[in-house]
Structure 1
């Protein structure tokens, strides 16, 4: 059995792996397809094949196609299950690996992430280029000239899979430099940095990187259990540079500056993961959208898997990715134990080193 739970506990149960065998290892893949990225807001997902689970009333279903569906918690937005029809017509079930807190070790065996799937959908290799295992040809960049086009653009579109949430970003401008915000754990480890430094007394506008915004990876327990997966990816963008699309009649829509207080109902669903933090997700498809401080909404964490940059999933003509540290890497095993906790740590260790360029082309060796 594997015990699974989302962040809020609205979905908590035991599930049975599809092929529990004690003598073999359990091999997992990271999926980078457009559907996974846009239904979750993350750059990749991972599922463990399981037998058909119990579907509680706290799960909401989103059908990505006639043969595939995702199940997420209607309270905190965490993705929990996926089902897709096999060629033989049988339903194949999977549970998001990030919600697995413990397992029967003698049934699962050793767990390893070993491969990437559908990397070609990313156009630029996505996060797979920093996790060098599997087939290196599938993580090579597809040069098609779109990078130059995207670099010149003044607007970057973003949307969840169902299209309920649509918005765009604009390039940094004078308004981008008005907010103040403490340093994030991404750039300054909270467990190793003095509060006097974290408070950013010099008022550095660290989120603006020339014509780009800072972006990074996070493995904190809260992000894992509100998304369902091992690696969250955030872009830090001032609210003044986010324009959200709202319906205006039956066929038209308008783009307005993002304002959580005046936003019409039905576009974003909010969840307070702590008294000081509010997260937004799409109530229709479950995609993670935003993270922000409850009382300070001037600089927003935007879920990078929603971005539709013409140069690729990492939108590197718009984002400068922080590669020196994975945010809250110390929490990768928090609240979990056993083989999945070990597999997650190995995965994030590989990511941490890969982002620094120390494992480039390892897969070719």
Structure 2
């Protein structure tokens, strides 16, 4: 049987592996999962997972190995183990035990975002992956599936469990979707951010409750009750998270409770210096990307991964954040990696931003 082998590595290259797949199985379908577990173990809004054919597993190149260079995370109700790099936090994929699989015979769902450019492009003779569906969208009111309804001219399917499916609990039972606003001891509204295991959890104050120059650089000039946010498709973020795109909200460190230092110390955080200009932090237990901080500035501000935000209005937190102008930073990196994805996301995101903020802006001007 003809096969094809491709290689992947995380940002720090501590995890380096290959997969060998029968050519007859290509392209492998990729699903974008929006469940709260994927969001709060990644920090991004969705994972990009490709189920591997039966018997296919990643083959690690020494000195990397599943046991020595990754951390496995399995919570109480999980039917899978999620693996991420011990050094940079990049998610590698899951060993899945659903639907009759066992610990000895799992199905691997690999993070397709770790492989080289050109492998996702529709219609190319060397296409290895194809983005096919958004799954568990009912767990994420609004969000990434509205920003990316299609790739190029091809619509992405939306899939959710049928009502009453005992294996997949309904979204209403999801403990990670807040139903009401949270307030601090003084009665001021705050926004909770938390990873899945809870080892990193903090609140963010409104801009009006923060003073100083650092707050003024982060708040929206048009909507001063909200912090500025953007999507990012740069190669570094892709390879430290394991997803094509991630969202960031810039906030002052002084707005966070409990206090987070400029060295990004809090709870179960592990730090990773991804370049001479940047420090990142992720949860060392569940792997969630949490913070990015520029090392070329004063250190008064920090970017928070928006997939961790638990806003009552939904995962986009658009009453807390201003996704100003539908901004995608480093879009050119995303276009080099997967052009149809990046261009379709830019179009869909800008259309969503214009629609969501239209009434807010008109009321402000009137």
Partner of 2:73: 62
For 2:261 and 2:144, how far apart are their aligned partners in 1? 30
| 8 Å contact from structure 1 (residues 5, 101) kept in 2 | no
Give 5+ residue unaligned stretches, structure 1: 181-203, 244-255, 335-340
Partner of 2:282: 281
TM-score with structure 2 length normalisation? 0.75
Q: Report Cα offsets for 1:170-205 as digits up to 9, x if no partner.
A: 10136454128xxxxxxxxxxxxxxxxxxxxxxx72
> Structure 2 vs 1, CA of residues 27 and 360 (structure 1 numbering), >3 Å: closer, same or farther?
farther
The correspondence for 2:301, drawn from 294, 299, 302, is 299
> Structure 2 vs 1, CA of residues 207 and 274 (structure 1 numbering), >3 Å: closer, same or farther?
farther
For 2:334 and 2:270, how far apart are their aligned partners in 1? 26
Matches of residues 152-301 of structure 1 in structure 2 within 5 Å?
154-173=189-208, 175-179=210-214, 205-208=217-220, 209-243=223-257, 256-261=258-263, 263=265, 267-294=268-295, 296-301=298-303
Partner of 1:191: none
The correspondence for 1:81, drawn from 80, 84, 93, is 93
Partner of 1:12: 16
| 8 Å contact from structure 1 (residues 26, 109) kept in 2 | no
TM-score with structure 1 length normalisation? 0.75
| 8 Å contact from structure 1 (residues 176, 238) kept in 2 | no
| 8 Å contact from structure 1 (residues 21, 109) kept in 2 | no
| 8 Å contact from structure 2 (residues 262, 300) kept in 1 | no
For 1:345 and 1:169, how far apart are their aligned partners in 2? 35
**Are 1:309 and 2:291 matched, yes or no?**
no
> Structure 2 vs 1, CA of residues 157 and 174 (structure 1 numbering), >3 Å: closer, same or farther?
closer
| 8 Å contact from structure 1 (residues 3, 103) kept in 2 | no
Name the Cα RMSD after superposition: 3.2
Q: Which one has more relative contact order, counting CA pairs under 8 Å at least 6 apart?
A: 1
Q: Report Cα offsets for 1:55-90 as digits up to 9, x if no partner.
A: 431111111444211111101111112111131224
Give 5+ residue unaligned stretches, structure 2: 60-64, 151-155, 161-170, 172-176, 356-366
Partner of 1:52: 57
For 2:327 and 2:10, how far apart are their aligned partners in 1? 26
- Give the secondary-structure state (helix, strand or coil) at the position aligned to 2:41: helix
> Structure 2 vs 1, CA of residues 239 and 262 (structure 1 numbering), >3 Å: closer, same or farther?
closer
